[in-house]
Structure 1
C-alpha cells in the first residue's frame, strides 16, 4: 500500500459493563445500556464511512461483546483479532501493538479499556480538527465512545503526536 494514503485509527472504549461481585473483572458482561449503545456506535461508524480492515479487540468479555454488537452495523466485517495484551494495556503497550500492524492494513480499530484508550488518543493527537480534542478531554472518554485519528506513513512510525484527531463521538452527548 502506498504510504501517501492516510491511515486511520479508530479507538473504541467498550460499552457500559455490569459490576457483579462474584465475577472476575475480565468476565464482566455488558449492562443493558451497553447492549443498547454498542449498535448505535456501529451505526455511527458506518454512517461516517468507517469500516476498519482490522480490529484489535481486548480479550475481556465486555470488549468482545461490544465488538460483536458493533460489527453487524458495519458495511463489511473486519478481520478481528482478540488480543490478550489489550487488557490493562498502558500507553506504551498500546503504541507497541499499533507498530506491529502490517502496512497492508489501512484502517485499524482498537477496542479496549480506559485509561489506556484515552491516553492513546491524547498522546497520538498532535493536531485536531474543530473541537474533538477538547470534547474528548472534557468527557473523559466514556463507555462506547470512539475517537478517529488519521496519520501518514507506516504503522511502524506510530508515536506521540503523529496523528490528527478528526472525530470524537459518544452515545450520550
Structure 2
C-alpha cells in the first residue's frame, strides 16, 4: 500500500442505547439501536470501502453496534477495542488514529458523540456535493456515519486535511 493512495476514515456513532440502571459505560443497545446498527452495516457495505481495521470504544453500546454492523460487511476486518475512545474528544481520537500502522488504508472508528461529530467537522477541510449540508441538517444521530478521505501517512492526520465524501444517518 502506497502512502500516496488516499486513506479513508469512517466515523461511526454507536446506535441508540437503552437507559437501564447500569453505569454509562455498560449501557446496552435499545431495540431500535439493534435494528439501526444492522441497517448502518448494510449502508456501510454499500459504500464499497474495504475496511482494513475497526477501532471501537470499549463501551457496551459501541461493541454491540459493531457486532451487528460488521456481519453486514463482505469481510470482517481486524477489530481493536480501544479504551481511549470512550468519551474521547476530537483531539484524543486524532491521537489514536495517528498511531494507525501505515499498511492500513481504511479505518472504521465506532465511538460516541460529541467526539465523533466534532472530529468529522474539524477534519473536513472540504466536502463533496451536499455532504456537509446533509450532515449539518441531520446533526449526527445515533448509528450515523461520515466517510472522510485524506492523503498521507496516518501520523499526518490533523484538522482540515480531509474531504468529507459521504454521510448517512438512519431515518427516525
> TM-score under structure 1 normalisation?
0.97
Is residue 58–residue 112 contact of structure 1 (8 Å, CA) maintained in 2?
yes
Unaligned ranges ≥5, structure 2: none
Q: Which residue does the alignment assign to 1:88? A: 87
Alignment pair present for 1:61 and 2:52: no
Say which SS state the counterpart of residue 101 (structure 1) adopts.
coil
Following the alignment from structure 2 to structure 1, what is the Cα–Cα distance between the partners of residues 92 and 37?
25
TM-fit CA distance, 1:137: 1.6
Following the alignment from structure 1 to structure 2, what is the Cα–Cα distance between the partners of residues 137 and 81?
29
Please give the residue correspondences for 1:10-159 in structure 2 after superposition, counting only pairs within 5 Å.
Answer: 10-20=10-20, 22-159=21-158
TM-fit CA distance, 1:67: 0.1
Q: Which residue does the alignment assign to 1:3? A: 3
Following the alignment from structure 2 to structure 1, what is the Cα–Cα distance between the partners of residues 160 and 108?
18
TM-fit CA distance, 1:48: 1.2
Following the alignment from structure 1 to structure 2, what is the Cα–Cα distance between the partners of residues 85 and 112?
10
Is residue 38–residue 70 contact of structure 1 (8 Å, CA) maintained in 2?
yes
- Between the two proteins, the alignment pairs up a number of residues equal to 172
> TM-score under structure 2 normalisation?
0.98
Unaligned ranges ≥5, structure 1: none
Is residue 45–residue 51 contact of structure 1 (8 Å, CA) maintained in 2?
no
Say which SS state the counterpart of residue 12 (structure 2) adopts.
strand
Following the alignment from structure 1 to structure 2, what is the Cα–Cα distance between the partners of residues 89 and 4?
29
> RMSD of the alignment, in Å?
0.9
Name the stretch that deviates more: 141-150 or 47-56: 47-56
Say which SS state the counterpart of residue 73 (structure 1) adopts.
coil
Following the alignment from structure 2 to structure 1, what is the Cα–Cα distance between the partners of residues 160 and 4?
18
TM-fit CA distance, 1:51: 3.2
Say which SS state the counterpart of residue 144 (structure 1) adopts.
coil
